[in-house]
Structure 1
Amino acid sequence: MNGNLVETLIGAVVLAVAVFFLGFAYNKTGFGNSGGSGYELQARFNRADGLVVGGDVRMSGIKVGTITHQSLDPKTYAAIVTFSVDSRYKIPEDSAVKVASEGLLGGNYLSVEPGGSDVMLKAGEEVKYTQGSVNLMDLIGQAIFSASGAANGKKGQDGDAPELSPLPSK
């Protein structure tokens, strides 16, 4: 009988710890805060690589909201990102939103850079000033190409393409 009591107590402790961690994860992810405590805004980007629904919206490095929806404008082919902002934070109408990277291996998030206007954005409005994501592989390719061109001394006058030399005549 003592063995069953010990096993039951250990099982109860394991269940209590599991419930504690579930509650902690629920609060930490903001899952419980998503219902109605904020307002939605939209932003258009030429590129929205790396953004995911549920991703962070940050201001000064602090999470102030969540990405709620992404779509593609069929006429302009711009990426439309809808995000919610905690109602405690008011965003000036001349603010800028950009796709920022957490690092080389990290994901992307929306970074809000507040403007100086006294007029605040209202729910459903669109942020006018945006900056899309930067393709890291393109940047690395450009850096390698420009470094190899400079090392060979064969850059053209405009710096874009290597200079072509004429073939020797026979």
Structure 2
Amino acid sequence: MEKAKLEMVVGVFVLVGILCLGYLAVKLGKLELVSGDVYEVDAQFNTASGLKPGSTVEIAGVEVGRVRGIVLKEDRAMVKLAVNNTVKLYTDTIASIKTRGIIGEK
């Protein structure tokens, strides 16, 4: 009886640990498990040097989305952005790629 109780406690502890690791992996990895609350926008740039999928999209320093992908289209970089539905972008919106820190992350 005592052994079964100990095995149950260890099993619950291991399960909670695995769930915590999964949660941290999603949060720290900034994965999107559900993408229903975003819409996609295409932006063209002369260069997307240093930009990569998963980079943040910000307006006035506030994160409003992520870069979904980057492809070459007619000698220009076509960047696909996933923007939160709560943010309204207009057709005349101007975007720029800026360096975030001293190591050059964008």
User: Under a length normalisation based on structure 2, what TM-score does the superposition of the two structures give?
Assistant: 0.78
- Structure 1 residues 12 and 106, CA, compared in 2 at 3 Å: closer, same or farther? farther
Give 1:42's aligned residue: 42
Give the conservation status (yes or no) of the 8 Å contact 2:67–2:79: yes
SS at the partner of 1:23?
helix
Q: CA offset at residue 16 of structure 1?
A: 0.9
Q: CA offset at residue 25 of structure 1?
A: 4.2
- The C-alpha deviation readout for 1:9-59, integer Å capped at 9, x for no partner, is 13321321321342354366251232x322211111111012112221111
Give 1:97's aligned residue: 95
Give 2:20's aligned residue: 20
Identical aligned pairs, as a percentage? 28
Paired residues, number = 105
Structure 1 runs, 4 residues or longer, greater than 4 Å off: none
Give 2:86's aligned residue: 88
Partners of 2:104 and 2:25 lie apart in 1 by 20
Are 1:33 and 2:34 an aligned pair? yes
Partners of 2:94 and 2:66 lie apart in 1 by 16
Among candidates 78, 102, 105, match of residue 76 of structure 2: 78
- Structure number with greater Rg is 1
- Structure 2 stretches of 5 or more lacking a match? none
Partners of 1:33 and 1:55 lie apart in 2 by 17
User: Under a length normalisation based on structure 1, what TM-score does the superposition of the two structures give?
Assistant: 0.52
- The C-alpha deviation readout for 1:40-91, integer Å capped at 9, x for no partner, is 1111111101211222111122221121121112x3x111111121111101
The residue identity in structure 2 corresponding to 1:31 is E
Q: CA offset at residue 4 of structure 1?
A: 5.6
- The C-alpha deviation readout for 1:100-146, integer Å capped at 9, x for no partner, is 222122521xxxxxxxxxxxxxxxxxxxxxxxxxxxxxxxxxxxxxx
**Over the residues paired in the alignment, what is the CA RMSD in angstroms?**
2.4
